[in-house]
Amino acid sequence: MIRVGQGFDVHQLVEGRPCIIGGVTIPYEKGLLGHSDADVLLHAISDAILGALGLGDIGKHFPDTDEAFKDADSLKLLEDVWKLAKERGYKLGNVDSTIIAQRPKMAPYIPQMAEVIAKALEAEEISQVNVKATTTEQLGFPGRGEGIAAQSVVCLVKIVL
Ligand SMILES: Nc1ccn([C@@H]2O[C@H](COP(=O)(O)O)[C@@H](O)[C@H]2O)c(=O)n1
Ligand SMILES: C[C@@]1(CO)OP(=O)(O)OP(=O)(O)OC[C@H]1O
């Protein structure tokens, strides 16, 4: 059996925060604002996995009112979400994601992001994890550099023993 899920997240870009996307710290003049480290890509992937499992969203599992998740490492949150999938007998089919950002340029960091995500989701091969990036041609909030969005689609495959 396969299950699919999708996730979408947005975080504001502000001065004085590190720019952490896909578990990679990108050198940039601004970073993403959030209760956690605000890793917009890992949040979208976490939501996609939770969606595939029918388990709600990351706000339900890691409330932003809980001090335990203040400045949380989103890679740890993704690993916790992945445990829920494994406990239910799923392995990764594939995950495809898009980062929507006018700047910074993501391309140089995408291979490292894919490695981080593949490791967290225990992928058998790197081709199971795809990360893309697009601008919005200077339109809307990403185009004005006010924030970054990410969306993700995940396919989970039930392990048959
Ligand atoms: N923040 C970004 C946005 C885009 N890219 C790469 O540039 C290509 C062209 O982007 P368009 O929005 O003009 O289609 C895109 O396919 C990405 O490879 C990027 O690295 N970082
Ligand atoms: C990750 C959590 C929890 O620290 O906080 P944020 O970093 O604000 O992220 P968001 O995507 O708004 O929602 C999930 C939150 O509960």
The pLDDT assigned to 160 comes to 76
Ligand 2 pocket mutation, candidates 8, 9, 35, 76, criterion most atoms within 8 A of CB: 35
- At 72, is the pLDDT very low, low, confident or very high (cuts 50, 70, 90)? very high
- At 49, is the pLDDT very low, low, confident or very high (cuts 50, 70, 90)? very high
| CB distance 72 to ligand 2 below 6 Å | yes
| Spatial contact of 44 and 9, defined as CB atoms under 8 Å apart | yes
Q: How many residues does the chain have?
A: 161
* DSSP result, the chain: -EEEEEEEEEEEEETTS-EEETTEEEP-S-EEESSS---HHHHHHHHHHHHHHT---HHHHS-TT-GGGTT--HHHHHHHHHHHHHHTTEEEEEEEEEEE-SSS--GGGHHHHHHHHHHHTT-SSGGGEEEEEE--TT-HHHHTTSEEEEEEEEEEEEPP-
Q: Which ligand is nearest to the CA of 42?
A: 2
| Spatial contact of 86 and 32, defined as CB atoms under 8 Å apart | no
Q: Quick check: 21 pLDDT over 90?
A: yes
| CB distance 94 to ligand 1 below 6 Å | no
Q: Domain residues of the chain, as ranges? A: 2-158
Expressed in angstroms and rounded, the spacing between residue 137 Cα and the centre of ligand 1 is 10
Rounded to two decimals, the ipTM of the complex is 0.93
CATH topology of domain 2-158: 60s Ribosomal Protein L30; Chain: A; (3.30.1330)
pLDDT > 90: what percent of the chain?
99
